[in-house]
């Protein structure tokens, strides 16, 4: 794994802080079709993800809950990234995102994937802190549970 350049690290931290302080798509979602909650006992993060579908497309999604900066920023970034995507595209995005934060996939700066991770890359720093990977992926696990009809997930 190549180290993250300092200027990028700085930018990523600003993105995370911004989404932590002003989370997007935060709060209950009127008329949600699916809802699932996630809990990360290691850190105490709690998140509830609500999804509204239009066919197999995620028309809208919101999150609620309380957690650390990483889990909140990741949930916020996830809602922005997934909105408008199909369920299959959301799954693919999660696969790539998980690869990124777990250090199994390289930053998209070197990737040639057609689907750019965009701002989700801001969370790449957690790959250096394995315990934080659960914070970063909690909302995604909750999203998947919601899309697959479950209603509760835990990172354990």
For position 45 contacting Zn ion by CB under 5 A, the verdict is yes
Q: Which of 16, 49, 61, 135 binds Zn ion (CB under 5 A)?
A: 135
Q: Which of 8, 32, 68, 107 binds Zn ion (CB under 5 A)?
A: 68
Closest CA to 100 of 123, 68, 74, 67: 123
Indicate the residue among 12 and 34 with the shorter CB distance to Zn ion.
12
Tell me if 137 contacts Zn ion by CB under 5 A.
no
DSSP states of 106-127:
--TTT---SS--GGGGGGGGGG
What is each CA distance from 144 to 40, 65, 70, in whole angstroms? 15, 17, 19
Place of tokens 């750019």: 116
Q: Is 43 in the site for Zn ion (CB under 5 A)?
A: yes
Q: Which of 84, 75, 70 is nearest to 131 (CA)?
A: 70
Asked if 71 touches Zn ion (CB under 5 A), the answer is yes
Among the listed ranges 6-14, 42-50, 75-83, 95-103, the one in contact with Zn ion (CB under 5 A) is 42-50
CB-based contact 146:51 (threshold 8 Å): yes
- Cβ at position 5, least distance to Zn ion in Å: 25
C-beta of residue 44 within 8 angstroms of C-beta of residue 70: no
Q: What is the DSSP letter of 150?
A: -
Task: Indicate whether 60 belongs to the interface with Zn ion (CB under 5 A).
Answer: no
Cβ at position 70, least distance to Zn ion in Å? 5
Identity of the residue, 46 or 86, whose beta carbon is nearer to Zn ion in the bound complex: 46
Contacts to Zn ion by CB under 5 A: 43, 45, 68, 71, 135
């Amino acid at each position: 794994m190549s180290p993250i350049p300092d200027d990028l690290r700085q930018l990523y931290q600003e993105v995370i802080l911004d989404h932590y302080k002003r989370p997007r798509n935060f709060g209950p979602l009127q008329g949600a079709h699916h809802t699932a909650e996630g809990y990360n006992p290691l850190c105490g993060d709690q998140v509830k993800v609500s999804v509204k579908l239009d066919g197999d497309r995620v028309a809208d999604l919101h999150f609620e809950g309380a957690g650390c900066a990483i889990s909140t920023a990741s949930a916020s970034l996830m809602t922005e990234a997934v909105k408008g995507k199909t369920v299959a595209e959301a799954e693919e995005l999660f696969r790539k995102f998980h690869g990124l934060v777990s250090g199994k996939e390289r930053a998209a700066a070197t990737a040639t994937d057609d689907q750019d991770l965009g701002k989700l890359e801001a969370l790449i720093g957690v790959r250096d802190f394995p315990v934080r990977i659960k914070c970063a992926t909690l909302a995604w696990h909750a999203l998947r549970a919601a899309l697959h009809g479950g209603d509760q997930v835990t990172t354990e």
